[in-house]
A = this chain, B = another copy of it.
Amino acid sequence: MALPYFYVTDLSSSTLTLEEDTSKHIIQVLRMQLNEQLLLTDGKGKKATAVIIDDNRKRCTVKLTDVIHEPEKATGVTIGISLVKNASRFEWFLEKATEIGVTEIIPLLCDRTEKEKFRHDRLQSILVSAMLQSQQCWLPVLHEPINFGEVVKQTTTANKFIAHCLPNEKQQLASTLAHHSPLTTQAAIILIGPEGDFTEKEIATALQLGFQPVALGNTRLRTETAGMVAATLLCQLTSE
């Protein structure tokens, strides 16, 4: 049975007083007691074993007994994905992308994006739960929504892809990755469009700026499914 695993924003001091919610969870819900062990991460690669030295249910205090640091992946995966009308589908994508191990998520505002209010705090907490659930110690970076145009202009990532549904010439992302092993040592970004796809103008702009057009299989995928499929292929085929 793995030790209970919690998120804290800072792991730099050797003794920590945890926030009220976390303290309540540990002392009241899990009924943990003095000298019991738990795990903590700062979501920036640090994973610490700690022991409870004050079981106050509002200000539980722990002492770190062991800290390991997991280096950041060289093959970071960034998913730029349009917001979708149905907020729960976007939240679902965030959970799955985190479980799968993406490093960065950029919500895109495209010509055809039907904007939804963006609740960063709520979405951030979904990322944290998914990171802990999947026993990772790197929290994906979740950006505020950015306009498509700015993202394609500013991206300097080594491997740049854009997934679209127009019948134009494009490769399957899966075969591109399976047959180009150099990719496995470099970071990658892929852009996923809204319901109704990117506009021809958006696609043309991305191609001019060096994005490679790719397909994600032969079926028509929902935005959040496409994001998940892209995250799977990039995380699994660039992390060998």
A contact set with B: CB distance below 8 Å: 92, 96, 99-101, 133-136, 172-175, 177-178, 216-222, 225, 228-229, 232-233, 235-237, 239-240
A-B contact pairs, 26 of them (CB 8 A): A96-B225, A96-B228, A99-B221, A100-B219, A100-B229, A101-B217, A133-B220, A133-B222, A134-B219, A134-B221, A134-B222, A136-B219, A172-B236, A172-B240, A174-B237, A177-B178, A178-B178, A216-B236, A217-B235, A217-B236, A217-B239, A218-B239, A228-B232, A229-B232, A232-B232, A232-B233
Assembly CA distance A96 to B240 (angstroms): 25
Copies in the complex: 2
A221 contacts B100, CB within 8 Å?
yes
* Chain A interface, DSSP helix/strand/loop, else mixed: helix
Task: Identify which of A100, A173, A174, A222 gathers the most chain B CB atoms within 10 Å of its CB.
Answer: A174
Q: How far is the CB of A142 from chain B (nearest CB, A)?
A: 17
A220 contacts which chain B residues (CB < 8 A)?
133-135
